[in-house]
Structure 1
Amino acid sequence: MNIDTALKEAMTISGAVGAALVDYESGMSLGSIGGGDRLDLEIAAAGNTEVVRAKQRVVSALKLNDEIEDVLITLNRQYHLIRLLKANSRGASTLFLYLVLDRERSNLALARHSLKSIEAGLIV
């Protein structure tokens, strides 16, 4: 599926407020949907590139020989879920799917499962 279809599918996840596909090397969003008055996805996407970069530095410094699957940030009213895309045959990926959920209307386990499925079908 293409980026637009993947983002639309992400918005069907229960409690979804907004979603974006982000390149964490540049901090740029390749596409976004939702957000509205409640959330500026461009600022959130750019800011979360720093979260991903920092966590990757820690994994590297600890010599864990492992990859980050996802990062969860819990707020009082929202979940912010960052799912790093796996490398493909062309090399390492620098992309992540970013999903913001309304905490009262979402199921975190199902949202993680859904993002994993979206990732599997995404062709960038």
Structure 2
Amino acid sequence: MPGIDACLHEAMSLPGARGAAIVDWTSGLALGTAGESPNGDYEATAAETAELARAAAEFTAFAPAPVPGRPAARGGRDGHSVHGATGPAGGGGPTDSGDPDKGPPVEDLIVTTRTGYHIVSFVDTTFDSSVFLHLWLDRDRGNLALARLRLRQLAERLVLE
């Protein structure tokens, strides 16, 4: 079970990794960073990726429709139900209690640019989860599929204290 530093070190060992961060998506603050930052400013990058993560986790366009017989959580910005997530208004994060029936509405995000990939992988924690891993991957040297799978594994093993 790696902590923040070990998790970032493992993420940076992936082929083509240029930068990695663990970010609190509620505050937009980086809990830890490694490697480069796409815009040269780790805190600005953390705040910008947190906005993206919040939008994906809160807006109903990205969340699956509620399943009949399964309660839907509230908290989307527009006041509509978002299955398995509550936004800042609800106090929770993009994931729920770890129950497979209450999983995250969004597992991860991939943003493709002309020179790289940005992968955001939500971390499920024992407390109100509001943390994600962000990996910046070089498009020519990186393996997107491998990075996505390894980042998901890191997110599952990450220990936050």
Query: Structure 1 length as normaliser, TM-score?
Result: 0.88
Contact 2:39 2:45 in 1 (8 A): no
Q: CA deviation at 1:40?
A: 2.9
Contact 2:117 2:138 in 1 (8 A): yes
* C-alpha distance 104-5 of structure 1, shift in aligned 2 (>3 A): same
User: What is the CA RMSD across the aligned residues, in angstroms?
Assistant: 1.8
Which position in structure 1 is the counterpart of 2:107? 69
Distance 1:102 1:40 in 2: 18
Distance 2:133 2:148 in 1: 11
Contact 1:18 1:41 in 2 (8 A): no
Give the partner amino acid of 1:51.
L
Q: CA deviation at 1:121?
A: 1.7
Which position in structure 2 is the counterpart of 1:52? 53
Which position in structure 1 is the counterpart of 2:140? 104
1:79 to 117, 121, 146: 117
Contact 2:58 2:82 in 1 (8 A): no
Distance 1:117 1:73 in 2: 19
Unaligned 5+ residue runs, structure 1? Answer: none
Q: CA deviation at 1:37?
A: 8.0
Is the radius of gyration larger for structure 1 or structure 2? 2
Per mean C-alpha deviation after superposition, the further-off stretch among 28-37 and 73-82 is 28-37
Give the partner amino acid of 1:72.
I
Q: CA deviation at 1:36?
A: 5.9
Count of aligned pairs: 122
> Identity percentage over the alignment?
38
Contact 2:8 2:20 in 1 (8 A): yes
- The structure with the largest helix share of the pair is 1
Distance 2:8 2:57 in 1: 25
RCO higher in structure (CA 8 A, sep ≥6): 1
Contact 1:19 1:99 in 2 (8 A): yes
